Amino acid sequence: MSNSVEAISVKYLTAKKLSGGTRKEYKSTVTKWTTWGNGVDVDRINRSHIRDFLDWVHNKAAEDGGSNPGRTANKARENLRAIMSWAWEQDYVAKLPRFPSPKPQRDVAGRHYLTKPDLNALYFATYQLPQLRGWKQPFTVGHYWRAALVVFFNYGVDTGTVFGSAGFHEPILWRHVSWRPEPPNGQGKECRYGWLYYRRVKTNKQFHRPMNRVVHAHLKSIRPENPQPDEPVFAGGTSRPNKQFQLLCELARLKPKQDVETGEEKLWVLKDLRKTSATYYDEHMPESSIEILGHSVGGVTYRHYAHRDPLAFKAIMSLPQPTAFTALHHGFDGECPCCRRRFQQA
């Protein structure tokens, strides 16, 4: 039986539920390994093989005019390490080889996040959102967008989890919101503010998350008198929620984000709120964003033995909120929490 990297990678991708884009990245790494030409079976790979392969990937990316060859080599390193870790778990490898240190790279993605003043401006701008044609919801569009911003910030959810704009999306429904303190899945300790259930669009992974007082106050503010279990919680996203979000950015007078490589200005999109959530969680409690956002991790001990629910619980319940988000909790609906200036609903 062949234990080549190509054969093991096929078994790895079959066993894992990965998105199409992630699968392409893994296949690209395996293609580079094959092109490198010194590939050996996984049970014979040692540190020198991995180091030579990563050096080759780095040099090849630089020769091809890549603007960030270190990042390209590090992505190949992460993919190869994930495959090797899985092979070790499945007993294809008796011992994992030591991996060389990551290459120096220029980090770009971490710069694209919204600051707390930006979030405050977005929150206040929701009061200016115009009513949609044929609007029949019990609350204004701004009410739903304020609650949506709070959920995006606290959980780093996908756009389709809040605004189910496509048929394959599973948006948060009223039956996914539990106001009882007991955890719905029977795991973990009680939360006085209740629980929220949702499923990631990309990986289909399920989450039961505690609601902190800010999330609780905003979901309660849009709760109808008789909520139907199968009705979506959030409205106002239309079929193109990013267009609505960009209108909100215009009302908040936010400057477009700038690509640090090309200097090109780009519009903010709802996915940037996920990056914002990850940034503030890691700033507040290091490594908490891995569990909060549902990122995959490479360490076997971290995946199988570390009990991460308490970390997520503590991070969500103690995350410092933007000032505007706390206004509703303190009873200042429709006015600025610092100066008490009233906002006019559109």
Task: Dump pLDDT digits (tens) for 288-326.
Answer: 888 888 765 544 444 444 455 688 889 999 999 998 898
Q: Class for domain 5-106, per CATH?
A: mainly alpha
Q: Average pLDDT over the chain, rounded to whole?
A: 84
| pTM (two decimals) | 0.66
Please determine whether the domains at 5-106 and 116-326 fall in the same fold group of CATH.
no
Give the confidence band of 191 by pLDDT, cuts at 50, 70, 90: very high
The architecture of the domain spanning 116-326 is: Orthogonal Bundle (1.10)
Q: What is the pLDDT of residue 200?
A: 85
Rounded Cα–Cα distance for residues 220 and 218 (Å): 5
For residue range 78-123, what is the model confidence (pLDDT) as tens digits?
999 889 888 888 888 888 888 888 888 875 544 578 899 999 999 9
Q: What is the pLDDT of residue 299?
A: 47
| 34-38, 71-75, 157-161, 293-297: least confident range | 293-297
Tokens linked to 66: 């890549």
Q: At what angle do helices 241-252 and 116-125 cross, to 10 degrees?
A: 100
Domain segments of the chain as ranges: 5-106, 116-326
Tokens linked to 64: 């091809």
Tokens linked to 346: 């559109």
